[in-house]
Amino acid sequence: MSHDNIFVKRLAAIVITVLALPAFGFATDDPLASWNDGANKQAIIDFVEAVTTEGSVDFVPVPERIATFDNDGTLWVEQPMYTQLAFAFDRVKALAANHPEWKTTQPFKAILDDDMATLAAAGEQGLMTIIGATHAGMSTDDFETIVSDWLTTATDPRFHKPYTALVYAPMLELMDYLRSNGFKTFIVSGGGIEFMRPWTEKVYGVPPEQVVGSSIVTEYIVTDGVPSLQRTAKIDFIDDKTGKPVGILSHIGRRPIAAFGNSDGDYQMLEWTSSATGKRLGMIVHHDDGVREYAYDRDSHFGKLDKGLDDAAAKGWHIISMKNDWATMFPH
Amino acid sequence: MSHDNIFVKRLAAIVITVLALPAFGFATDDPLASWNDGANKQAIIDFVEAVTTEGSVDFVPVPERIATFDNDGTLWVEQPMYTQLAFAFDRVKALAANHPEWKTTQPFKAILDDDMATLAAAGEQGLMTIIGATHAGMSTDDFETIVSDWLTTATDPRFHKPYTALVYAPMLELMDYLRSNGFKTFIVSGGGIEFMRPWTEKVYGVPPEQVVGSSIVTEYIVTDGVPSLQRTAKIDFIDDKTGKPVGILSHIGRRPIAAFGNSDGDYQMLEWTSSATGKRLGMIVHHDDGVREYAYDRDSHFGKLDKGLDDAAAKGWHIISMKNDWATMFPH
């Protein structure tokens, strides 16, 4: 070997070493850069390394790497009310001109008067009436357009941002990190499946076929030779609490190995995920940061977290402190 | 350049040419080798080239390349009866020892006596009773084991092969060909979703989360701290006829651009797929080969094809002749 060649080899070795460095800790290369170092971030990394290391006792083949995420309060803000409820109220106000009778009919009058106490008193029946008036009686294509249009103009009352901007940066990173390790990421939400599908691919990287949610009965109708799927005012499925494992079975057909939620509505999804044999990861996002977001748990109307807090330790679920675990809240 | 170098370059050019040859028509490289050359094979190739050629007016982005396949009679044999029905009958016979009353109770007696006339007379109510006795009252995990075990031992009465060997080679190739061109392939079948999921990944390359089918109501139960999904005897959803576009919406959330069926039960799936704007492919497998498989259409109890034959030309659907279009029937 000539001296020239030795020089080239040494240079190459130096270049390779320098290039390799970021993989050993440069912050810019951290796939979970929005997470503060600590037990929860480490638990995520340890879990992913365990299930992706071939030959490891915990190894899970790629097709079985299923991770499920609740949406409201887990991936995006759910206060001061669920975004889908804000959408329904805005729709009532937008449609009121065509319904003069709403000015004197409950629960519409309560919405038009911003009278939340009367609205709350209208209960489940009142909510169903609102869903019927705002979410049904049109084709799925038309509903998709209505949702998409609303999201481009509506803004959150506190942050004055579009709702799709109020998604949690650490959770976006977590989904990316899992996908880059062979996981399929699914949303499993109590929210309406067709309310989420128009935007989950763009915002979360989750395509429509990986969205599980509540649904209303839809009917296939052919009018003048043109088929459409028409949304009716009848509830088909509620994807909440014990409904979540059922929705997971129906849409995924496999038990997840990782699940992420934030409320007692996610309890059974976490339980179903973590009670199987093999390495499992269950995490609960705890809203304890009233400065950057909201602080609520056991007494909240939206996203109540009570039994989950009590049982997390015994179940092996990790409680994510938004205040302490998250360096960044939103992507903006 | 030395003569040596010129020689090496010429040799390289020859090697590259020879290596490249198979891509231009060697039979062994044909992704649809089980299909005879003809209008239908060409229609598949033309469609795939149109929707995958960037810049083409018909180009479809990868996430929207959704293809749906019926199962019974489209991907595997459905005569002399649906395989799932054969499974149910075998289960009745296997469970009969624990149910001495079945010897004198219909519709069980008819199955034990191989009395198909009496069984047919029992109608839908009789069928529901059989489903309740054979498909319900156990966990989804247990049902998966029962189905998997049955498929390893049960054989078809005519071909004396396992049912999962009686799948159509041309359709397996078609699914592979579509997937290699960026398509996601879904099964959309009137059959039970949990009856298909245990084997579709191995046999068709279709994972559980891409199987759409009929379902019974499943309940999430926790017993002594152990959760399970329990199958009840109540019908949840029938994925047939107008149910197919509804099932597609529920599970996929996008309209397919290609759909493949064989009976009038697939009519609305084909209609929903092909009536949208943009390039679409709709195909009907016509069972016209009584020698290698079965010949039936308008008068068949299983897989009746009547309206589909009448309307195919007007709807732009291709009728696949199993006799003429398929060089090979089964993979074995």
ipTM (interface pTM) = 0.90
* A24 and A132 both lie in a single domain: no
* A188 and A204 both lie in a single domain: yes
pLDDT greater than 50 at residue A1: no
Residue B19 pLDDT level (bands cut at 50, 70, 90): very low
In terms of CA atoms, which chain A residue is nearest residue B236? Answer: A236
* A210 and A294 both lie in a single domain: yes
* A109 and A222 both lie in a single domain: no
* B39 and B172 both lie in a single domain: yes
* A87 and A205 both lie in a single domain: no
* A186 and A281 both lie in a single domain: yes
Q: What confidence score (pLDDT) does residue B75 get?
A: 98
Given B209, B245, B252, which is nearest A254 (Cβ)?
B209
> Cβ–Cβ of B253/A193 closer than 8 Å?
yes
Residue A273 pLDDT level (bands cut at 50, 70, 90): very high
- Domain of A19 in residue numbering reads as 1-30
Q: Which of B104, B130, B153 is the last residue of a domain?
A: B153
The CA-atom distances, in angstroms, between B232 and each of A201, A236, B133 are 34, 17, 10
The answer to whether residue A284 is domain-embedded is yes
Is the CB of residue B184 less than 8 Å away from at least one CB of chain A? yes
* A225 and A318 both lie in a single domain: yes
Which run of H or of E encompasses B143? helix B140-153
The answer to whether residue A280 is domain-embedded is yes
Given B210, B215, B249, which is nearest A250 (Cβ)?
B215
Q: What confidence score (pLDDT) does residue A18 get?
A: 44
Domain count, chain B: 2
Q: Contact at 8 Å (CB) between A225 and B315? A: no
> pLDDT exceeding 90 applies to what percent of chain A?
87
CA distance B165 to A225: 40
Q: Which CATH number covers residue B40?
A: 3.40.50.1000
Strands (E), B109-265: 184-192, 211-223, 226-237, 258-261
Is the CB of residue B210 less than 8 Å away from at least one CB of chain A? yes
* A23 and A91 both lie in a single domain: no
* A296 and A284 both lie in a single domain: yes
Given A184, A220, A253, which is nearest B268 (Cβ)?
A220
Residue type, A68: T
* B227 and B268 both lie in a single domain: yes
* A104 and A218 both lie in a single domain: no
The answer to whether residue B17 is domain-embedded is no
- pLDDT tens for residues A289-307? 999 999 999 999 899 999 9
Given B197, B219, B245, which is nearest A229 (Cβ)?
B245
The answer to whether residue B300 is domain-embedded is yes
CA distance A182 to A179: 5
Closest CA to B287 of B266, B270, B305, B271: B305
Is the CB of residue B201 less than 8 Å away from at least one CB of chain A? yes
Distance between the two ends of chain B, CA-based, in angstroms? 55
Q: How far is B276 from chain A (nearest CA, A)?
A: 9
The answer to whether residue B20 is domain-embedded is no
Is the CB of residue A184 less than 8 Å away from at least one CB of chain B? yes
pLDDT greater than 90 at residue B120: no
In terms of CA atoms, which chain B residue is nearest residue A237? Answer: B236
CA distance A107 to B318: 52
Q: What confidence score (pLDDT) does residue A7 get?
A: 52
For A265-301, b/e burial (b = at least 16 CB within 10 A) is bbbbbbbbbbbeeebbbbbbbbbbbeeebbebbeebe
Q: Going edge to edge, which strands form the sheet with B318-321?
A: B226-237, B211-223, B184-192, B66-69, B258-261, B281-286, B318-321
The answer to whether residue B18 is domain-embedded is no
The answer to whether residue A161 is domain-embedded is no
The β-bridge relationship of strands B258-261 and B281-286 is parallel
The answer to whether residue B71 is domain-embedded is yes
- pLDDT tens for residues A38-88? 999 999 999 999 999 999 999 999 999 999 999 999 999 999 999 999 999
Residue A117 or B220, more confident: B220
Q: What confidence score (pLDDT) does residue B15 get?
A: 47
Q: Which of B91, B119, B153 is the last residue of a domain?
A: B153
Q: Which of B106, B130, B153 is the last residue of a domain?
A: B153
CA distance B53 to B49: 6
| Sign of the alpha-carbon torsion through B148, B153, B154, B155 | positive
